[in-house]
Structure 1
Amino acid sequence: MRIDSIYIENFQGLRHANLQLGTPITLVCGLNGVGKSSLRDAIALAFGEGARVQHKKDWAQLVTEGQKKGQIIIGHDGAASSITLPKGQAERAPIDGQEYLPFVLAPEAFARLDDKAKRSLLMSLTKASAKPQIIVEKLLARGADAAKVEKIKPLLLSGFAAAQEQAKTYTSESRGAWKAISGEAYGSEKAEGWVYQVAESELDVSPAAIDAVIAEHTLIETKITEGVAWIGGQDEKRKQVSGFAQRKAELEAAAALLPRAISKRDATQKDLDAWQPKLEDLQVKLREAQAGAGGCNCPECGVSLKIVGSKLEKYDGIVSDTAATQNLAAEVQKAREAVDLYRRTLSNDIAAVAAAEHAQAELAKLGEQQSDQFDQAKYDSAVQKVQELRLSNDQRRAKINAMKDRQGELNNAGSFTAKAAGHHQDVKDWTLIEKALAPDGIPGEILAGALAPVNDQLKRLCKLSGWAQMEIAADMAITAGGRLYPLLSESEKWRCDAHIALTIALLSGLKLVVLDRADVLLPAVRAKHLGMLQVLAKSGEIETAIVCGSLKEKPVTLPPEFTAVWVENGLAGEPELQQAS
């Protein structure tokens, strides 16, 4: 990728830049804080990469202080990519390898990735494929079982870890299946050539012996059925005997009440007979008293008289006569109530006598009947016998099962051996797949294929720059001279980042790199790195390299592959351009 021109207006610390890049390598230099890093940020933003602010609503802050509008136009490969601030209106020409731009525009970006992202980037960069079909082919090449590979294939879409974990689960299940047959904990050496051993036994499991025990079991079962039926009949008889005795006792108690019931009936009848005439007499007197109400004077002697029935009685006046009538009526009422009570009582007494007489008659009939006798001792003996038969039959049933189990064991010994061998083979097959999918298996093989061209390029670049040998290990650890990246100094990290960015630029085909803060290097070291860029530019491997750094003055004498741009007071370019601005 070749950048032909850079036009920047009011972007961060850079108020104006209008550069024509006529050489592969451009040195952007000036004092601290004049806008050199703003040039790097402007290129990235025009190409669609991130800015120093997180949200687009804050893009107004990217415009140079005191200005309302900013613009960036980058001419490259016969086209242009631009953006206007603060609206963010952009027009971008397509760039092959766009996904690698962040790592050549900001070299420190690669080291900041996590291991998974680094690994993914390098595999994409070197076109090292981890597609399921590629992995399937590699598994088959390692001798994996084709059917099991197809079974695990769908999980490869979720990554090596998921597929490996499933293979591990299948391995565990196969071990469990082997143990279920053998009764022993699985061991790879033990399982190899394992044969199912049938334990020795004196138990006769011939068909004739099994049939004989079954016949005994059937006979005893018949006796048990007969015994249970007899016991059921005896239970019914016991209920009948118990009912007969209870009925007899009830009738005897009822019949025993007959003398008392007769005596009470007769006494009640006697009392009723005494009260009945009393009531009739009182009723007659009451009628006569009511009929003779009122009196008259005797013509002979002048005494007041009244007629009561067929008699004449002295009439003492209406008050006395009324009181006597009322008393008589009360006596009639009392006598009537007594008669009614004795009549009701007599009715009940007659019913009691009838019930007792009926009980006597029923008892006489019951005496003529004879209840079957229930033999408790015989009953208990039968229950005990049935229990003994059941225990005996349970033993025979257990013997039949044991005989059939052993017979099956003898018949299936070969099958058990074959099944165990099959499960053992499953364990071996799944173990092979599990190990092949482990990080040091196929993933490591694919990663090694991805790392090889990367590390080869790093080795070559380090040789060109005179820098300590760099390497990216399978665990994504970056080292320089054997020292881990986090332990390096600031300038050493800068060199590592620059070499990685150049490697990405070369392998991706971008042929572009932007290196900021080159002043972190000592002049002698910086010269070696610029020499490396010169070699790459001469060979055409790098089309555009922009190196930014703080210098006291603009370099005067430079090789033909280099152009120097001085930045001062937010202006970049030739003096006449700055003056025009």
Structure 2
Amino acid sequence: MEAIKISVTDFRGIEKADIEVTGLALVVGTNAAGKTSVTQAVAAALTGNVTPLRGLRKSEAGSLVRSGAPDGGVVVATADGASQIRWPEARMKTEGTPPQASAVAAGLESVAIMSPEDRAKVLMPYLKADPTKEDLAAALPDIKPEHLGKLWDALEINGWDGAHGQAKDKGVNLKGRWEQATGERYGSKKAANWLPDDWGDELEATSEQTLQDGLAQEREFLEAAITAHAINDDKRREMEEQVARIPEIAIGVTDLDMEQQRIRSRLHVAKEELRQMPYAGPPPIQPCPHCGEGLVIDGGKITLPPKNLPTQAEIDARQAEIAEKQKEVAALEDEHAQAVSLWKAADRELADATRAKSKLEKNPAPEGEYKDVEECRERVCRAEARLKAFLAKREADRIHAAIEANQAVIDVLASGGLRARKLAEAVRSFHAEHLAVLCGEAGWKDVTLDDDLRPTYGGRPYPLLSTSEQYRVRTVLQLAMARLDGSDMVVMDAADILDRHGRNGLMKMLIAIGIPALVGMTIADPDKTPPPDLAAAGRGSTYWIEHGVTEPLHGISEKAA
């Protein structure tokens, strides 16, 4: 294991502390000897928190310098890099890849004493308890893929609580729509069995199209009844005469159509002949602005005037020919317009006669007493009521299904829904893979987290524990989280709160976890309770601290010898 070298100078109660951590380093001394100052300085360098005391502002960092010294500092280094902090500037400098640790691993924070909200916020990344999109899909097996995608997008944008609030708002809106559609107050049991007025059991097995077709037929019957009673004998005879003339009118329409087409062809030929007739006037000659010679400007082109200009007699003759052709075109246009008018009038007459024929076919002359108009109206009203009931039931059922599906989303997104289930699974894994293993190494009672992430020891909640039991809880959680976040070192103080059995368990746990550790411990009377010599036991190194100066315990023993 690579050695981590620590040097602390003139920081709080420390004058000089040089420590090398290879596995486990224990700093021991009497009260107020400077142990806590060492652990705080090292924690600052590992985390980058230049003011490692809670509530201390950076502007007050000068209070961290040992009394009487101009400045102080800490360096934590390995062969790969180093981090250094100087006070009172409270400025950090790093080189290479220095050792690092999370605030929890460095002992600056503990989830055991955090508020429930902060504890959850800190633990969630460690537990990896945030549900995935696949978890959401499994919790909502009936959701469509496109709706799942939109829901997941909402979760990423608004968070679980925000998306949960949106789902609840949607549920309120859907219930309002159901009440608007039915005219009744919503209730899940009521909605599941709701039937509108005019509902009949036969509507269960029908379709909208069938009801639409039935209504259309009843309306046709009503129209036929009205028409049959509306067409008197004179009108019927007039319509029959129109129908009798259909063949004659059709022939006339065809003949008139052919005539207007023949005139249109003649008109087209005359217009083309007029278009191709040569220009009747003299060319447009203008004087050149430079030399004064005449020039012809035509279509943006400039040319010299032709040598043989037409005579006035020739120009008059051409103009007369054009005027004659224009008269011919105008006459043909008038003739064509009249022909088209006659053709369209005949075509309208044919259309009227055809409609009369269709109307007579649909409304034959009444034979005996025809169906009563009012009876037909009543049948139409009944058909409309049945269709309206069918559509109302279908819409109410659709909204109710949407409410039920949305309620499933609400339940899943709630704090006690998928997140709670996922968290419970993650907590069980965290306990089995980390907490239980560490407690087993130490020979301590089980440290667990309940469903609300509250720590317990031996099944008892944290606030009810003794101070030494609380220390064990904090230590186990600290080491488990340090292992998960990849911290290069752990720092802990006040291990003297533990009895001999507890300290032995702590050492075993620290050795087993394999993360370099710096531990501070008070020994009130070193003569009665000699500090453990880790170097002699091959488990690390022990440093004695006195008057703000550290010295390896092994070296002290050798001097004494």
* TM-score of Structure 1 vs Structure 2, range by shorter chain: 0.5 to 0.7
Tell me, in whole angstroms, the C-alpha distance in 2 between the residues paired with 1:507 and 1:97: 16
Contact kept, 8 Å, 1:103 with 1:504, in 2: the verdict is yes
Aligned residue number for residue 317 of structure 2: none
Aligned-partner residue type, residue 152 of structure 2: K
Aligned residue number for residue 7 of structure 2: 7
What are the Cα deviations for residues 321-363 of structure 1, in whole angstroms up to 9, with x where unaligned? Answer: xxxxxxxxxxxxxxxxxxxxxxxxxxxxxxxxxxxxxxxxxxx
**Paired residue secondary structure (1:160):** helix
Query: Quick check: 1:421 aligned with 2:393?
Result: no
Aligned-partner residue type, residue 533 of structure 1: L
Query: Quick check: 1:460 aligned with 2:462?
Result: no
What are the Cα deviations for residues 27-71 of structure 1, in whole angstroms up to 9, with x where unaligned? Answer: 110000010000111112223124226222211111100000112
Aligned residue number for residue 51 of structure 1: 52
Aligned-partner residue type, residue 143 of structure 2: A
Query: Quick check: 1:472 aligned with 2:449?
Result: yes
Structure 1 position 9, deviation (Å): 0.9
The change in CA–CA distance for 1:485 and 1:405 in structure 2 (over 3 A counts) is farther
Aligned-partner residue type, residue 491 of structure 2: V
- Within a 5 Å distance, the mapping from 1:172-183 to structure 2 comes to 172-183=172-183
- The equivalent position to 2:70 in structure 1, one of 68, 71, 83, is 68
Query: Quick check: 1:543 aligned with 2:500?
Result: no
What are the Cα deviations for residues 485-544 of structure 1, in whole angstroms up to 9, with x where unaligned? Answer: 12222111111100100111122222532120011112222222222223x1xxxx3231
Contact kept, 8 Å, 1:519 with 1:549, in 2: the verdict is yes
- Within a 5 Å distance, the mapping from 1:54-453 to structure 2 comes to 54-76=56-78, 78-92=80-94, 101-106=102-107, 109-130=110-131, 133=133, 136-140=136-140, 142-157=141-156, 158-192=158-192, 194-198=194-198, 408-453=384-429
Aligned-partner residue type, residue 483 of structure 2: L
Aligned-partner residue type, residue 438 of structure 1: A
CA RMSD of aligned residues (A): 3.5
Tell me, in whole angstroms, the C-alpha distance in 2 between the residues paired with 1:181 and 1:29: 78
Aligned residue number for residue 26 of structure 1: 25
Tell me, in whole angstroms, the C-alpha distance in 2 between the residues paired with 1:436 and 1:526: 45
Contact kept, 8 Å, 1:2 with 1:512, in 2: the verdict is no
Aligned residue number for residue 487 of structure 2: 510
Larger displacement relative to structure 2 (61-70 or 177-186): 177-186
Contact kept, 8 Å, 1:123 with 1:450, in 2: the verdict is no
Aligned residue number for residue 552 of structure 2: 574
Tell me, in whole angstroms, the C-alpha distance in 2 between the residues paired with 1:506 and 1:440: 29
Query: Quick check: 1:494 aligned with 2:471?
Result: yes
Tell me, in whole angstroms, the C-alpha distance in 2 between the residues paired with 1:12 and 1:512: 22
Tell me, in whole angstroms, the C-alpha distance in 1 between the residues paired with 2:389 and 2:474: 67
Contact kept, 8 Å, 2:62 with 2:87, in 1: the verdict is yes
Structure 1 position 10, deviation (Å): 0.4
Structure 1 position 72, deviation (Å): 0.8
Contact kept, 8 Å, 1:182 with 1:196, in 2: the verdict is yes
- The equivalent position to 2:541 in structure 1, one of 563, 566, 570, is 563
Contact kept, 8 Å, 1:469 with 1:480, in 2: the verdict is yes
What are the Cα deviations for residues 383-421 of structure 1, in whole angstroms up to 9, with x where unaligned? Answer: xxxxxxxxxxxxxxxxxx999987643322211111111
Structure 1 position 422, deviation (Å): 0.7
Contact kept, 8 Å, 2:543 with 2:553, in 1: the verdict is no
Aligned-partner residue type, residue 447 of structure 1: L
The change in CA–CA distance for 1:59 and 1:576 in structure 2 (over 3 A counts) is farther
Aligned-partner residue type, residue 545 of structure 1: A
Tell me, in whole angstroms, the C-alpha distance in 1 between the residues paired with 2:517 and 2:381: 84
Structure 2, unpaired ranges of 5+: 201-214, 228-376, 557-561
Tell me, in whole angstroms, the C-alpha distance in 2 between the residues paired with 1:443 and 1:513: 31
Tell me, in whole angstroms, the C-alpha distance in 1 between the residues paired with 2:384 and 2:149: 36
Tell me, in whole angstroms, the C-alpha distance in 2 between the residues paired with 1:96 and 1:138: 43
Larger displacement relative to structure 2 (451-460 or 57-66): 451-460
Contact kept, 8 Å, 2:10 with 2:16, in 1: the verdict is yes
Tell me, in whole angstroms, the C-alpha distance in 2 between the residues paired with 1:452 and 1:77: 39
Tell me, in whole angstroms, the C-alpha distance in 2 between the residues paired with 1:556 and 1:464: 19
Contact kept, 8 Å, 1:144 with 1:433, in 2: the verdict is no
The change in CA–CA distance for 1:557 and 1:86 in structure 2 (over 3 A counts) is closer
The change in CA–CA distance for 1:576 and 1:564 in structure 2 (over 3 A counts) is closer
Query: Quick check: 1:36 aligned with 2:35?
Result: yes
The change in CA–CA distance for 1:14 and 1:414 in structure 2 (over 3 A counts) is same
Contact kept, 8 Å, 2:131 with 2:418, in 1: the verdict is no
How many residues get paired?
A: 381
The change in CA–CA distance for 1:210 and 1:68 in structure 2 (over 3 A counts) is farther
Tell me, in whole angstroms, the C-alpha distance in 2 between the residues paired with 1:467 and 1:524: 9
Give the greater-gyration-radius structure (CA). 1
Tell me, in whole angstroms, the C-alpha distance in 2 between the residues paired with 1:402 and 1:33: 102
Contact kept, 8 Å, 2:199 with 2:386, in 1: the verdict is no
Contact kept, 8 Å, 1:518 with 1:548, in 2: the verdict is yes
Tell me, in whole angstroms, the C-alpha distance in 2 between the residues paired with 1:109 and 1:405: 76
Tell me, in whole angstroms, the C-alpha distance in 2 between the residues paired with 1:129 and 1:43: 33
**Paired residue secondary structure (1:143):** coil
Contact kept, 8 Å, 2:80 with 2:97, in 1: the verdict is no
Aligned residue number for residue 384 of structure 1: none
The change in CA–CA distance for 1:419 and 1:533 in structure 2 (over 3 A counts) is same
Contact kept, 8 Å, 2:137 with 2:148, in 1: the verdict is no
Structure 1 position 183, deviation (Å): 3.0
Aligned-partner residue type, residue 570 of structure 1: G
Contact kept, 8 Å, 1:97 with 1:509, in 2: the verdict is no
Aligned-partner residue type, residue 117 of structure 2: K
Aligned residue number for residue 368 of structure 2: none
Contact kept, 8 Å, 1:506 with 1:542, in 2: the verdict is no
Aligned-partner residue type, residue 14 of structure 1: I
Structure 1 position 87, deviation (Å): 1.6
The change in CA–CA distance for 1:405 and 1:152 in structure 2 (over 3 A counts) is farther
Aligned-partner residue type, residue 181 of structure 2: I
The change in CA–CA distance for 1:187 and 1:194 in structure 2 (over 3 A counts) is same
**Paired residue secondary structure (1:46):** helix
The change in CA–CA distance for 1:56 and 1:3 in structure 2 (over 3 A counts) is farther
Contact kept, 8 Å, 1:119 with 1:447, in 2: the verdict is no
**Paired residue secondary structure (1:573):** strand
Contact kept, 8 Å, 1:472 with 1:478, in 2: the verdict is yes
Tell me, in whole angstroms, the C-alpha distance in 2 between the residues paired with 1:94 and 1:167: 50
Structure 1, unpaired ranges of 5+: 216-400
Structure 1 position 105, deviation (Å): 1.4
Aligned-partner residue type, residue 19 of structure 1: I
